[in-house]
Amino acid sequence: MRADRVAMLVGLFSVAMMIGVYFFEYVVRVMPCEMCYWQRWPHVAAIITGLGGAALFSAGTIGRRAVGVLAWLSLALLLSSALIGAWQAGVEWRWFPGPDACSGPLFEIRQHLDLNAPVASCEDPGWRMLGISLAGYNFLCSTGVAVLGALLLTRTIKVPLKWANA
């Protein structure tokens, strides 16, 4: 599959992931922790590199090699978000220690204490389905798309659809 299509796939996947996390945050009211925010940054960067690379290639601004580099960069960004998600899922299951910013005691008194400030612990998932938290689903889905994208870029698998190889 062409690299611009893979870059677009990765960018659109990350857009869908960001829509999903904002849905859970603002509609379902699942409060994100520090590690949740860490997982979002690679998706934002993958949106920029993936969709930006595909758009620049479509406009003729960059060539095939450049869009290929951006597609691989987008896949690496997806994988980095997946690895942070795996770490957070491990923290939630108490397999790994979490970062000091969101593990252990929820309050640390410095100068003033704001009891109205929302605090979410990385150790306690706000939502689970089939025993898997949002961080776990980020790991599974992002890893799956990254592997699929890498296979498409290396032409290990072929997409039989006429438009995919155009």
Task: Give pLDDT tens digits for 78-109.
Answer: 999 999 999 988 888 888 877 776 765 554 55
Residue 89 belongs to what domain range? Answer: 3-98+121-153
pTM above 0.85, yes or no: no
Rounded to whole angstroms, the Cα distance separating 42 from 45 reads 5
- Please state the domain count of the chain: 1
Mean pLDDT, residues 105-127 taken together: 61
Task: Give pLDDT tens digits for 11-68.
Answer: 999 999 999 999 988 898 888 888 888 899 999 999 999 999 999 999 888 888 999 9
For 40, 45, 74, the CA distances from 147, given in Å and listed in that order, are: 19, 18, 12
Q: Is 163 exposed, middle or buried (0-12, 13-18, 19+ CB in 10 A)?
A: exposed
CATH number, domain at 40? 1.20.1550
Residues 6+ apart with CB under 8 A from 6: 71, 74, 75, 149, 152, 153
Rounded to whole angstroms, the Cα distance separating 163 from 13 reads 19
Q: Would 111 be classed as within a structural domain? A: no
